[in-house]
Amino acid sequence: MSQYILALDQGTTSSRAILFDRDGRIHGSAQQEYPQHFPQPGWVEHDPRDIWNSQLAVAREVLRAHRVGSFHLAAIGIANQRETTVVWDRHSGEPIAPAIVWQDRRTAEACDHLREAGWAERIQAKTGLELDAYFSASKLAWLLEHVPGARARAERGELAFGTVDSWLVFKLCGRHVTDASNASRTMLFNIHTMQWDAGLLELFSIPEAMLPEVVASSGDIGPASSEWFGGPVPIAGIAGDQQAATFGQACHKPGMVKNTYGTGCFMLMHAGRSPAVSHNRLLSTVGWTVDGRTDYLIEGSVFMGGATVQWLRDGLGIIRESHEVEALAASVPDNGGVFLVPAFAGLGAPHWDPYARGALVGMTRGTHRGHIARAAVEAIAYQSAELLDAMCRDTGCPVAEVRADGGAARNDMLMQFQADVLGVPVVRPQVTETTALGAAYLAGLAVGFWESQEEIAAQWRAERVFEPAIGDEQRRALMGRWNEAVVRSKGWA
């Protein structure tokens, strides 16, 4: 009898593989970082082969370490970094260029031209998205224009485009598919008709032959080849990482909110069975398609969350390991008037300024690395507080709590400060790897490993609740000062 679901969690800076049992508990995990490439200012690239090789390696590692064979696995679920754009040769299976990562800003000017031509509102009406270089469409158009021979090959049907889920499924089983949650992040998919949009394909000059088939988030996609894990294993779940985390947090009902603290921070609210309309520059996106029904979400995206701490480690060298930031930030009683706006890749929601750049303001001769570390931690919380404020203005309904997950959710100082500036409780679950858990749940539902979403929701357990510890006046003062710092970062490039 199958005992586990294998979740492949392909993230921006690392690949993970996690085994989940029927109680939704982690049986084993493995993780591997892979190289990041920054060939020019504002450019961020991955080698698609590094993505595949690292993901395959950790999957094999966790199975080997826990003596789990393919016959122990009921299914594979995949969660992935979204918007990152991969193009490969259909016959050789080799990428034709580096993957352009979601953080990449090289197409900001092209998006500006489309905005000036009046396309922003029309694109938002169809896709629920802001016209921004964040999404896949302009990245794919750039590859077709700048890789020699790519456009002609694409028009002949020789090339395949996909987000990272498509790339992994192709390598695992040879099918060229994506799910609706990932399709909705390309800026080429109409979230009302649930189909690729001919008008947008024409606008971006994308040959339709390049596009993957759109399948359900939970359903039989096909078996992973026996060469990878010693026997065939059904691939039965796919979702973009933030939609997967929302599902894994059991935010299955309208008004429920989760925030993932990963490389970026992504706050999502369940919006029901029809697309929401944001008047505060948030995104309307497909959550998941299960049993023929589609759930929609409203989302705010922060580009630099945990990546801000990585910058302290790799860029400034003031910490050796990411987990050291909490102790360093706690070494000072407050931020000493220092604010860090980590707009290293521009600003996401609700500002959408691709030309903003990082700003460190308020320093004096008394400023030292503890203040900078604290400002970095607080910046993650401030950016997320902006998102919840926009969501509440969009929906008009108060939020009872925010469910937190992701690597940085283990930072107690961050979670407490987040509750303070949100003004609502922040709840950390017992299983914080909810991205992988959501992918596992989607796969498990498809193969009967779990019977229903109600069974899944019953498995969710809180590990700790962080209650707000400051008053409204202090909260408004802190957010006001943060907003002043943000203004100084805007339009810099």
pLDDT tens digits, 2-46: 899 999 999 998 999 999 999 999 999 999 999 999 999 889 999
Which backbone phi and psi does 202 adopt, to 5 degrees?
-70, -40
> 4-241 adopts what CATH topology?
Nucleotidyltransferase; domain 5 (3.30.420)
pLDDT at position 1 over 80:
no
Whether 434 has a binding-site annotation, put simply, is no
Give Cα separations from 323 to 236, 310, 336, 409 (angstroms).
Answer: 34, 10, 22, 11
Which backbone phi and psi does 432 adopt, to 5 degrees?
-90, -10
What's the pTM?
0.88
Chain-centroid distance of CA 115 in Å reads 25
Q: Find the mean pLDDT for residues 245-259.
A: 93
pLDDT at position 243 over 70:
yes
pLDDT at position 397 over 80:
no
The helix/strand count (H/E) of the chain reads as: 17, 23
For residue 22, with 0-12 CB atoms within 10 Å meaning exposed, 13-18 middle and 19 or more buried, which class applies? middle
The reported pLDDT for the residue numbered 321 is 85
CA distance 406 to 60: 23
CA distance 238 to 29: 19
CA distance 53 to 43: 23
DSSP string spanning 424-486? S-EEEES---HHHHHHHHHHHHHHTSS--HHHHHHH--EEEEE---S-HHHHHHHHHHHHHHH
The reported pLDDT for the residue numbered 396 is 80
- Return contacts of 316-319, CB within 8 angstroms, 24+ apart: 316/369, 316/372, 318/369, 318/372, 318/373, 319/373
Q: Find the mean pLDDT for residues 97-119.
A: 94
Dihedral (C-alpha) 241, 244, 249, 255: value to the nearest 10 degrees? 100
Q: 389 is written with which tokens?
A: 């404020």
pLDDT at position 323 over 90:
no
Q: 22 is written with which tokens?
A: 């029927």
CA distance 14 to 97: 20
Whether 12 has a binding-site annotation, put simply, is yes
Q: Find the mean pLDDT for residues 113-132.
A: 93
Of the chain, the percentage scoring pLDDT greater than 70 comes to 100
What pLDDT, in 10s, does the model give residues 59-78? 999 999 999 999 999 999 99
The reported pLDDT for the residue numbered 493 is 82
**Residue from 33, 480, 18, 3 nearest 244 by CA:** 18
Whether 83 has a binding-site annotation, put simply, is yes
Give Cα separations from 274 to 192, 388, 480 (angstroms).
Answer: 8, 20, 34
Q: Find the mean pLDDT for residues 395-405.
A: 88
Strands 73-80 and 45-46 turn out to be unpaired
The reported pLDDT for the residue numbered 207 is 96
Whether 82 has a binding-site annotation, put simply, is yes
H or E element, residue 298: strand 293-302
Q: Find out whether 97 and 46 touch, Cβ atoms under 8 Å.
A: no
Do you find a cis peptide bond into 425, omega within 30 degrees of 0?
no
DSSP alpha helix (H) spans, 117-162: 120-127, 136-146, 150-155
**Residue from 390, 359, 394 nearest 482 by CA:** 359
Mean pLDDT, the chain, whole residue set: 93
The position carrying tokens 């902006």 is: 386
The reported pLDDT for the residue numbered 279 is 86
Whether 4 has a binding-site annotation, put simply, is no
The reported pLDDT for the residue numbered 139 is 98
pLDDT at position 307 over 80:
yes
| DSSP-derived 3-state class of residue 272 | strand
The reported pLDDT for the residue numbered 264 is 85
pLDDT range class, residue 392, cuts 50, 70, 90: confident
Higher confidence at residue 354 or residue 270? 270
**Residue from 48, 23, 26, 24 nearest 35 by CA:** 48
For residue 363, with 0-12 CB atoms within 10 Å meaning exposed, 13-18 middle and 19 or more buried, which class applies? middle
Whether 306 has a binding-site annotation, put simply, is yes
The position carrying tokens 């122990």 is: 72
Whether 107 has a binding-site annotation, put simply, is no
What pLDDT, in 10s, does the model give residues 267-294? 999 988 889 888 888 999 999 999 999 9
Whether 411 has a binding-site annotation, put simply, is yes
Chain-centroid distance of CA 362 in Å reads 31
Whether 25 has a binding-site annotation, put simply, is no
